[in-house]
Amino acid sequence: MINGKKVVVIMPAYNAEKTLEKTYSDIPKGAVDEVIVVDDKSNDNTVGVAKRLGLTIFTHDENKGYGANQKTCYKKALESEADIIIMIHPDYQYTPKLIPAMISLLESGEYDIVLGSRILAQNAIKGGMPVYKYIANRFLTLYDNIMLNQKLSEYHTGLRAFSRKVLETLPLLENSDDFVFDNQILVQAVYFGFRIGEIACPAKYANDSSSINFTRSTVYGLNVLKTGLQYVAQKGGIFQSNIFKKDGKKLL
Ligand SMILES: Nc1nc2c(ncn2[C@@H]2O[C@H](COP(=O)(O)OP(=O)(O)OP(=O)(O)O)[C@@H](O)[C@H]2O)c(=O)[nH]1
Ligand SMILES: [Mg+2]
């Protein structure tokens, strides 16, 4: 509890047996009340490791995708009465040591969402990010900043903190079950007027880290372009998308 608020970390997991424990161990003790892992039908022992660590675990009975996994994670966090929800990839690419800093930014009342940015940390390529992913990240970020009229340093991080209100308000069940969910949630947040802050987060791509391949990264990139167009069309009254519907399907 921080100022009487419940803090829950959620980890959307897929084949994370080698990195889940390291990620969990680096969460500063006492900083969070509960850690929820949702396993998207991994082929490895992710569930066994999560159980041994005593984490709260939920499983999908089939592989539903990264977006679907996050939907389950956030729903379970809200059901668990979380006030502050931190999403971190369990592949040990993002340092959990920054979680308390992110919480305090939310607690300042100035932000509804805080992102851990690898670009601000300026070590993404040194940390092992493939060069093509770095270039794509920079290009897609520029694109989103222009389309959304924002000045964020990246929209693609796997370390994010949300206030409960954000997850209750956004029609998250209208979003994709695939990777573009990550982009849709931020574009929705801008559309609904939530304030997004950032902190610098060093990233490392260890051998065990999950890294999606070129084809899936390309699909992601194209879907990011589409989401930006949807935003502009929505704002201009040209075309309405379900992801921006005020009464669209929500988690609760
Ligand atoms: N549910 C689900 N999750 C997946 C799948 N593939 C990867 N993930 C998870 O999605 C997250 C992001 O995917 P990564 O493979 O780490 O992506 P990356 O290329 O490293 O990209 P960044 O981490 O954003 O730099 C990781 O936490 C993976 O565990 C999948 O098929 N289903
Ligand atoms: Mg990764």
Looking at ligand 1, which atom is closest to the CA of residue 93? 23
Report CA(210)–ligand 1 centroid distance (Å). Answer: 6
Report CA(164)–ligand 1 centroid distance (Å). Answer: 24
* Ion ligand 2: residue ranges with CB closer than 5 A: 91, 93, 209-210
Report CA(220)–ligand 1 centroid distance (Å). Answer: 12
Q: Ligand 1 — pocket residues by CB below 6 A?
A: 12-14, 16, 40, 63, 65-66, 69, 89-91, 93, 156, 158, 210-212
Report CA(206)–ligand 2 centroid distance (Å). Answer: 9
Alpha-carbon span 68 to 87, nearest angstrom: 14
Alpha-carbon span 229 to 11, nearest angstrom: 30
Alpha-carbon span 168 to 24, nearest angstrom: 26
Report CA(93)–ligand 2 centroid distance (Å). Answer: 6
Report CA(10)–ligand 2 centroid distance (Å). Answer: 15
Pick from 66, 88, 138 the residue to mutate for probing ligand 1's pocket: most ligand atoms within 8 Å of its CB. 66
Pairing type for strands 34-39 and 159-163 reads: unpaired
State residue 207's pLDDT score: 84
The letter for the amino acid at 198 is E
Please spell the DSSP secondary structure of 215-238, one letter per residue. Answer: HHHHHHHHHHHHHHHHHHHHHTTS
Q: pTM, whole model, 2 decimals?
A: 0.97
Burial category of 102 from C-beta neighbours within 10 Å (exposed 0-12, middle 13-18, buried 19 and up): buried
Report CA(131)–ligand 1 centroid distance (Å). Answer: 17
State residue 208's pLDDT score: 85
State residue 86's pLDDT score: 98
State residue 2's pLDDT score: 85
Pick from 89, 181, 182 the residue to mutate for probing ligand 1's pocket: most ligand atoms within 8 Å of its CB. 89
Least confident of 20-34, 37-51, 73-87, 201-215: 201-215
Decide if pLDDT at 211 tops 90. no
State residue 1's pLDDT score: 83
Alpha-carbon distances of 153 from 17, 150, 230, 249, rounded to whole Å:
31, 9, 21, 29
Nearest to 70 by CA among 179, 190, 203: 179
Residue the block writes with tokens 């990139």: 221
Whether the Cβ atoms of residue 13 and residue 50 lie closer than 8 Å to each other: yes
pLDDT in tens, 121-150: 999 999 999 999 999 999 999 999 999 999
Mean predicted lDDT score pLDDT of the chain: 97
Decide if pLDDT at 206 tops 90. no
Coarse DSSP helix, strand, coil percentages of the chain, rounded to the nearest 5 percent? 40, 15, 40
Q: What are phi and psi of 209, to 5 degrees?
A: -65, 145
Q: What are phi and psi of 39, to 5 degrees?
A: -100, 125
For 7-244, CATH number out of 1.10.10.10, 3.90.1150.10, 3.40.630.10, 3.90.550.10 equals: 3.90.550.10
pLDDT in tens, 11-56: 999 999 999 999 999 999 899 999 999 999 999 999 999 999 999 9
Ligand nearest the Cα of residue 124 is 1
Q: How many CB atoms lie within 10 A of CB 157?
A: 25
The letter for the amino acid at 191 is Y
The whole-number average pLDDT for the span 175-179 is 98
Whether the Cβ atoms of residue 96 and residue 88 lie closer than 8 Å to each other: yes
Decide if pLDDT at 210 tops 90. no
Q: What are phi and psi of 123, to 5 degrees?
A: -125, 20
Ligand nearest the Cα of residue 17 is 1
Pick from 64, 135, 210 the residue to mutate for probing ligand 1's pocket: most ligand atoms within 8 Å of its CB. 210
